[in-house]
Structure 1
Amino acid sequence: MKFLKNQMYQVVSILAINGAFEGWGTSLCWWANRVGYSEQLATQAAQLFYNKNTGLGLNIMRYNIGGGDDPTHNHITRTDSKVPGYAVNVTGTSDTDNLSWDYDWSADYNQRNILTKCIKESGKEAIVEAFSNSPPYFMTNSGCSCGAVNASKNNLHNNCYDDFAKYLADVAYHFKNSFGITFQSISPMNEPYTSYWMANSNKQEGCHFDQGESQSNMITALRGALDKNGLNSLMVTGTDETSIDTQIVSYQALSTKAKNMLGRIDVHTYSGSNREGIKALAQKENKNLWMSEVDGGLTAGENAGEMGAGLWLAQRIITDVNNMTPSAWVLWNIIDNHISKDGYQGNQDSGDVDRSKGYWGIAVADHDNQTIHLTMKYYAFGQFTRYIRPGYTIIPTGSNTLAAYDVKGKQLIIVAVNASAFDVNYNFDLSLFHAVGASVKVIRTSGTMSSGEKWAQLKPLTANASGFQATLKTNSVTTYIVSGAEYNNAAFSEITLVE
């Protein structure tokens, strides 16, 4: 196999407004809400996930501004997903246009504790996006932050768009001026055009917003509230639909005013397939594009065992980044399972994962022993995040590889996945580059936690002006770092992996 040179295009115009990859991240919702009570667990998590020398080197944090459910409700049974809201001492009703409330800024300590530690580990590369799953319960039609009585109907009361926008803007203002945390962006809706969110469910907060007028009103109201609070540079993003195809329709249905106020398109890739379409839409609208949430309990590979979940994640990253070319790729709940004999807030935790099968998240928090257990999925993720860094330029490649170019360091990074039951020989054609170094670093993850390779440094390969050859081990993820790679033009040839 080899890389072939095809048509020319401007990578800068596809990647982002500033032409650079912004990084990798995870939502803090919900794992930080469960883990942040413990200084030991919180410190471990920040180092494992956000330290670029010893951990994954993530730099993007999506902080969930909880709406807060009716305090008399007790139907959310997950131990991590009941995120506290900040509003207290509520007076008035949504029906009478006379709502008022105070704020309890001590709320949501756990998530903020994790956020603060992750920002510290990320340093100058840190990017924080705030997002909301639901308005506070007293602004909803159902009186419940888990959704409407009819899950396909709007749950934000018609009188409360400005109230909800004020709530979000006030939180953003307080974070900046009291906590010293500046949000780069804020997304007021999460998977809004779905029927997932139903009152009194046991899952999480959620809120349906119809496409068109309802979503447009939310965006414009939030932009106005942020500006009123002096947060003119805080970007409004969205609409974070669960489906790529739905996201395209939702954006197109926005009013012209709302489109102009939307600073970036955020999309989840749980479903839908039109990745080229969302990329083209972002280009046409001159908007940056983030893949802002995905994960899944799936596997890939052939008899891959513990590597199965990691191979699935690696393939999803390659598919999303090559075909959508987003400027950021963000995992959902990085810790989705918790071990605790006592449970939390009256509910039982989910327990450990079966590493031979698919599972959500990439690590497990053991609250009984105050430690975080890693998985091969964690190490597979790190094959991308540790070596393709913020500021690099993504070079779309084939279905099994992802490549990026470090202009300042003159490095070419190639991450290759072999999900087959046998080793595969590749010939990487680097003739597009004016110069390449003679040595290629090789880092690989394969096998099991007890006896496998975990970011294993292998013997360097030899490269020349035409490229290098490599053997991809069965059921593995391998990163190749080609130093001394020089390319002087901003336009790259598309590189396609073919037989």
Structure 2
Amino acid sequence: MHYTLQTLAVLLGYSLLTKADTTTTINPDTDWGTWEGWGTSLAWWAAAVGPVEVIAELAFTTNWVSYDGGNMNVPGLGLNIVRYNAGACSWNTYDGVSMVVSPGIISSWQMDGFWTDWASSNSTSSSWDWTVDANQREMMRLATSYGVDTFELFSNSPMWWMCINHNPSGSNDGTDDNLQSWNYESHAIYLATIAEHAANYWGITFNSVEAFNEPSSNWWNGLTGDQEGCHFAATTQALVLGHLRTALNSRGLSSTLVSASDENTYDLAGSTWSSLVNSGASSNVGRINVHGYQYGSGNRAGLYSLAQAAGVALWNSEYGEADGTGAELASNLILDFRWLHNTAWVYWQVLDSSSWGLVVADNNALSSGSISQKYYVLAQFTRHIRPGMTILDGGSDNTVAAYDATNQKLIIVAVNWGDAQYLNFDLSSFSTPGRNGALVPRWSTQIGSGDQYVSYHDTYISGTKFWSYFVTNQVQTFEVSNVAL
């Protein structure tokens, strides 16, 4: 019978701790929040490709999925959060006025909107068209059938006719608000009406509604923009948030959270939130949403402190980059767990061009291709850290820990950025640190190339510790059973 070196050590009662180059002590006395889940926006990929079963399985199940004509067997990510984009575009003319289109707009980034003119706010009138955006809605329905249970409605821009220049890509210089002041309430009514319609006719209850997308940023320029976007000053946001809360309440949606403000960076999010607090508008907001595009920089801990002081939840509601190796994703995700303490994390596009996509795709050509290596890096987290788990202090800057109280299971995800070494995990602070000699299943993905979520059964607890050998840039996930806080 073949034994690994570690197995022999456990059986013989010896310790190999001298072989462990780094020791990490997991802290059970922390509580960084209950994990709500992992997600993706459906804009723009779902609007382009529609309800493709194999993509839905990859994104929303933890099944092993047959892909590429059966040539690949891929682990599903198990995402349980969907962000649905309320579009801002329509191609009608009303009272001699029609939408202005930026010359650089990308067609698959134009999203159909439901409220096509300003004649009536009655959602059953001819001013509304509920037949549009069928692809995105159908993917949302399919996601529901695969177990997605958390939904957010968000807007990149108000409907074009609410905009000062009638262009849903932004103002003519990118720095000015583009929502007409007399349409502040209309924008809120638009979103609340979609949420009401979804509950009544789509079988979807939106848990939250977000009225803005990176509103303080200055790149929403209608003359050069390639997507929908709109600048909102913090003072304007405050007014719209009040209208949105009122519009939701009046439609029987008082339990639907208002989230804000989907700023591009952690630092901008902190500044905007402080402004909303000072104006009193924060009382209408139940969660801070922030985007992760500050990557390795920014005051994550400061934003967490603001959320804690206000008693509101905190999500990283959008993240993406073009590093297909998974290195940036792993690094920034661990930084979020360690300092931001968000309780949900959303990747921008499951399908996208080049290395931005988890699945490389051309949404204009309606084609999908290879699975990126960072897909498998993300799977190390999403398939194991599941909704309802408590996020713990992993004890080091390269380790994430979560506790499943129902199954008394400890989840550890760790990355080795340095030279090849043993990483040793100390569970001595737990009242029950697992059973001595028990198997600790592990899964491995190599950043860049190599292992793609490969499972191993060769790691065992020795006393209150276990360890594993990591090569450089290796991500490993461990599940330790019979653990009690």
| TM-score, structure 1 normalization | 0.83
Deviations 1:22-52 (CA, angstroms, capped at 9, x unpaired): 011111111111111xx5xx21111001102
3-state SS, counterpart of residue 364 of structure 1: strand
Confirm or deny: 8 A CA contact 2:318 2:345 kept in the other structure. Answer: yes
Q: In 1, distance between residues paired with 2:165 and 2:107? A: 23
* Structure 1 residue 101: Cα displacement: 6.7
Q: Structure 2 residue aligned with 1:363, among 337, 359, 371?
A: 359
Query: Which residue number corresponds to residue 28 of structure 1?
Result: 42
Q: In 2, distance between residues paired with 1:297 and 1:57? A: 22
Query: Which residue number corresponds to residue 62 of structure 2?
Result: 52
Which residue type is aligned with residue 443 of structure 1? Answer: W
User: How has the CA–CA distance of structure 1 residues 209 and 382 changed in structure 2, closer, same or farther, with 3 Å as cutoff?
Assistant: same
Deviations 1:449-483 (CA, angstroms, capped at 9, x unpaired): 7xx32211113311033210111122221111111
Query: Which residue number corresponds to residue 233 of structure 1?
Result: 255
Query: Which residue number corresponds to residue 12 of structure 2?
Result: none
3-state SS, counterpart of residue 87 of structure 1: coil
Residues 371-450 of structure 1 mapped to structure 2, 5 A cutoff: 372-397=369-394, 398-420=396-418, 422-435=419-432, 436-437=434-435, 438-446=438-446
Structure 1 unaligned spans of 5+: 93-99, 299-307, 338-352, 354-358, 488-499
- For the pair 1:88 / 2:104, whether they are aligned, the reply is no
* Structure 1 residue 90: Cα displacement: 4.1
Confirm or deny: 8 A CA contact 1:68 1:87 kept in the other structure. Answer: no
Q: In 1, distance between residues paired with 2:127 and 2:362? A: 36
User: How has the CA–CA distance of structure 1 residues 143 and 369 changed in structure 2, closer, same or farther, with 3 Å as cutoff?
Assistant: closer
User: How has the CA–CA distance of structure 1 residues 101 and 219 changed in structure 2, closer, same or farther, with 3 Å as cutoff?
Assistant: farther
* Structure 1 residue 218: Cα displacement: 1.0
3-state SS, counterpart of residue 238 of structure 1: strand
User: Computing the radius of gyration over CA atoms, which structure comes out larger, 1 or 2?
Assistant: 2
Residues 160-239 of structure 1 mapped to structure 2, 5 A cutoff: 160-211=183-234, 213-239=235-261
Q: Structure 2 residue aligned with 1:132, among 133, 148, 155?
A: 155
Confirm or deny: 8 A CA contact 1:314 1:380 kept in the other structure. Answer: yes
User: How has the CA–CA distance of structure 1 residues 44 and 5 changed in structure 2, closer, same or farther, with 3 Å as cutoff?
Assistant: closer
* Greater mean alpha carbon deviation, residues 318-327 or residues 367-376: 367-376
Confirm or deny: 8 A CA contact 1:311 1:477 kept in the other structure. Answer: no
Q: In 2, distance between residues paired with 1:390 and 1:33? A: 27
Deviations 1:34-87 (CA, angstroms, capped at 9, x unpaired): 111xx5xx2111100110233000101111111115556363542421111112
Q: Structure 2 residue aligned with 1:249, among 257, 271, 276?
A: 271
Deviations 1:98-140 (CA, angstroms, capped at 9, x unpaired): xx972111111111111111121125xx100111000011111
3-state SS, counterpart of residue 399 of structure 1: coil
- For the pair 1:65 / 2:86, whether they are aligned, the reply is yes
Confirm or deny: 8 A CA contact 1:267 1:290 kept in the other structure. Answer: yes
Which residue type is aligned with residue 216 of structure 2? Answer: Y
User: How has the CA–CA distance of structure 1 residues 369 and 171 changed in structure 2, closer, same or farther, with 3 Å as cutoff?
Assistant: closer
Confirm or deny: 8 A CA contact 1:23 1:390 kept in the other structure. Answer: yes
Confirm or deny: 8 A CA contact 1:66 1:132 kept in the other structure. Answer: yes
Query: Which residue number corresponds to residue 304 of structure 2?
Result: 279
User: How has the CA–CA distance of structure 1 residues 265 and 447 changed in structure 2, closer, same or farther, with 3 Å as cutoff?
Assistant: closer
Q: In 1, distance between residues paired with 2:187 and 2:26? A: 51
- For the pair 1:336 / 2:357, whether they are aligned, the reply is no
Deviations 1:276-302 (CA, angstroms, capped at 9, x unpaired): 10111111111111111111123xxxx
Deviations 1:151-202 (CA, angstroms, capped at 9, x unpaired): 1111111110111111111111111101111100010011001101011434
3-state SS, counterpart of residue 461 of structure 1: coil
Q: In 2, distance between residues paired with 1:76 and 1:132? A: 20
RMSD over aligned Cα atoms: 2.2
Confirm or deny: 8 A CA contact 1:87 1:101 kept in the other structure. Answer: no
| TM-score, structure 2 normalization | 0.85
Query: Which residue number corresponds to residue 167 of structure 2?
Result: 144
* Greater mean alpha carbon deviation, residues 195-204 or residues 235-244: 195-204
- For the pair 1:295 / 2:297, whether they are aligned, the reply is no
Q: In 2, distance between residues paired with 1:78 and 1:29? A: 13
Q: In 2, distance between residues paired with 1:419 and 1:44? A: 33
3-state SS, counterpart of residue 286 of structure 2: strand
Structure 2 unaligned spans of 5+: 1-21, 65-75, 91-97
Q: In 1, distance between residues paired with 2:448 and 2:291? A: 30
Confirm or deny: 8 A CA contact 2:30 2:392 kept in the other structure. Answer: no
3-state SS, counterpart of residue 68 of structure 1: coil
Q: In 1, distance between residues paired with 2:126 and 2:169? A: 20
Confirm or deny: 8 A CA contact 1:379 1:455 kept in the other structure. Answer: yes
Which residue type is aligned with residue 113 of structure 2? Answer: G
Confirm or deny: 8 A CA contact 1:383 1:479 kept in the other structure. Answer: yes
- Name the % identity: 36
* Structure 1 residue 256: Cα displacement: 4.9
